[in-house]
Structure 1
């Protein structure tokens, strides 16, 4: 009986931690859009958007480095190879990805952005098919990708269903950011074979954030009107990234990968719900609900491996 009790207690903790991560990531959509308003950053001011993103991820990287110290994880040796790999990761997976992500979020609703960004899961599956001989598309993954992309297509219909409500600066930028993340994650997976994943994430966030800051300020970007609320929001965005990445890395380390990654389907759900709640966006429209169901079911199909807690 005691063994069963420990098993269910551990399973509950794993479940709670995974859900916490998805709530934090889902909350980033309304938080970013709220940040634009508090800082008075126009959606067309790309350099200032880069500065906002850079401040967030530089802080997130520094927070995560501090968390690594608290957990007494071994320091990452900063030799030439590691610096080169981390710089490439930071320039792509953080800097380039979030340039397009922040532009996209500024030009579409939080509800649509949370659903559109879920395409990253399907891009990862497709890219892995061509890059890894042991991670090929099967029937279940193919159906999952088709179902997921059908959901993304659905959410872009206008209310009348007679036209497509899609812009390159909005939905297109979010999808391109998701593709960059998928490609960068595959490279990150290769790099993580020779370095600690949490240390790798910390440094690439910090490096990518610094690049965003330098380019943003260099192009004339401004940090915005920082008051008390804006400062708290920036700290929250930085902490949510560092805490979620730290907890997620520990979950992946001590549990079967398939059992953890399947929780990814909750991110667009929480992103949609929280955007509707905090931004007063309409999300109970039938096309949004159908799109959300299709995307979540697609993510479930491509990440399900039938693993159980060990």
Structure 2
């Protein structure tokens, strides 16, 4: 496949993740963040394991637990802490620092060169996200800011280590391992820290099914496939598409306003993604 095809397939993942807010607020019971995260990861991971019928071996048990924690358990836990303690615009803007962290980690762990154009693209992406969803009324909560930064660091480490530790298995199997590990790590926290879910409605079941099969299994398979084939800074920059999709869906489905500044933010986000992939040389796979 061509590089452009790899980019488009990988970009589908954050674009679909942008629908998570809509699905969560409209279809899922409110107030169960850890339980929702666990039910998003664990059933999807177990289903994929039934399909691939392949377990980790040797050193991969430890690596999968680390990656499952970074990409799912720690990442989603801190994401929810930031979301609850900060306005959505602040939380997303803080999290948008992730591509800059990836650039540094890729240099440290993979020996990738740091390119000025990559840094400029990452900074532009942060500015675009701020234009998209940051409001003048946004309040700053110290714990929320720390959680947002921790969330970005966790996902950045997960992205770079997923590239560094490439197992001799398909992206589907790699996704199955990590989703299952992340779900198992979230399970005790959900059971201990949150009450049991109320009886689920048809809308709840539809939301959980979508988040598990589409928002987790499909998207992370595409994401880890992209991590294996593209430079980490390029992959990380695609994450800017998630808040952009969320804003577009809020406008199209929920009737939320779309200001000229937000439209300008979309243009900046798309330009930053283009700049990021232009900054990296094409490499054959």
Q: Do both share a fold (TM > 0.5)? A: yes
CA shift, 1:235, in A, is: 0.8
2:24 aligned with 1:24, yes or no? no
Summarize the alignment of residues 174-213 of structure 1 with structure 2, pairs less than 5 Å apart.
Answer: 174-193=148-167, 195-213=169-187
Residue 37 of structure 2 corresponds to residue 53 of structure 1 = yes
Ranges in structure 1 where 5+ consecutive residues have no aligned partner = 1-6, 42-47, 70-74
User: C-alpha root-mean-square deviation of aligned residues, in Å?
Assistant: 3.6
Partner of 2:30: 40
Aligned residue number for residue 124 of structure 2: 147
User: 1:13, CA displacement in angstroms?
Assistant: 7.6
The 2-side partners of 1:287 and 1:298 are apart by: 16
Distance verdict in 2 for CA 1:224–1:90, change over 3 Å: farther
Deviations 1:54-93 (A, max 9, x none): 1111022123334536xxxxx24433x2211111222222
C-alpha distance in 1 between matches for 2:134 and 2:12: 31
Question: Pick from 209, 218, 222: which aligns with 1:243?
Answer: 218
Q: Of the two, which has the highest radius of gyration? A: 1
Q: Is the 8 A contact 1:156 1:166 kept in 2?
A: no
Residue of 207, 224, 230 corresponding to 1:257: 230
Aligned length: 281
Q: Is the 8 A contact 2:3 2:282 kept in 1?
A: no
Equivalent in the alignment of 2:276 = 302
More divergent stretch after superposition (117-126 vs 175-184) = 117-126
Alpha-carbon spacing, 1:239–1:224, altered in 2? closer, same or farther (3 Å): same
Offset at residue 150 of structure 1 (A): 3.1
TM-score (norm. length: structure 1): 0.73
Cα distance in structure 2, aligned partners of 1:111 and 1:287 = 14
Match of 2:67 among 71, 81, 89: 89
Q: CA separation in 1, counterparts of 2:270 and 2:148?
A: 17
Give the TM-score of the pair, scaled to structure 2.
Answer: 0.79
Which runs of no fewer than 5 residues in structure 2 stay unpaired?
none
Contact 1:29 1:275 in 2 (8 A): no
Asked if 1:78 corresponds to 2:62, the answer is no
Q: In the alignment, which residue of structure 2 is the partner of 1:4? A: none
Q: Deviations over 1:6-36 (max 9, x none)?
A: x9xx99987875564444222122222335x
Greater shift, 100-109 or 11-20, is seen at: 11-20
Shift of 1:237: 0.2
> 1:202 deviation in Å?
1.4
Deviation by residue 1:253-303 (Cα, 9 ceiling, x = unmatched): 7xx636x84755533322221133344444x23443344433443333223
CA distance in 1, matches of 2:6, 2:192: 44
What is the rounded CA distance, in whole Å, between the counterparts of 2:191 and 2:8 in structure 1?
40
| Alpha-carbon displacement from aligned partner over 1:212-254 (angstroms, at most 9, x marks no partner) | 121121224332442111111011100111012234555677x
Cα distance in 2 for residues equivalent to 1:195 and 1:270: 31
Using the alignment, how far apart are the partners of 1:220 and 1:264 within structure 2? 29
| Separation (CA, whole Å) in 2 of partners of 1:308 and 1:129 | 17
Does 1:129 find its partner at 2:102?
no
Q: Is the 8 A contact 1:53 1:212 kept in 2?
A: yes
Residues 65 and 178 of structure 2 are in contact (CA less than 8 Å); yes or no, is this contact kept in structure 1?
yes
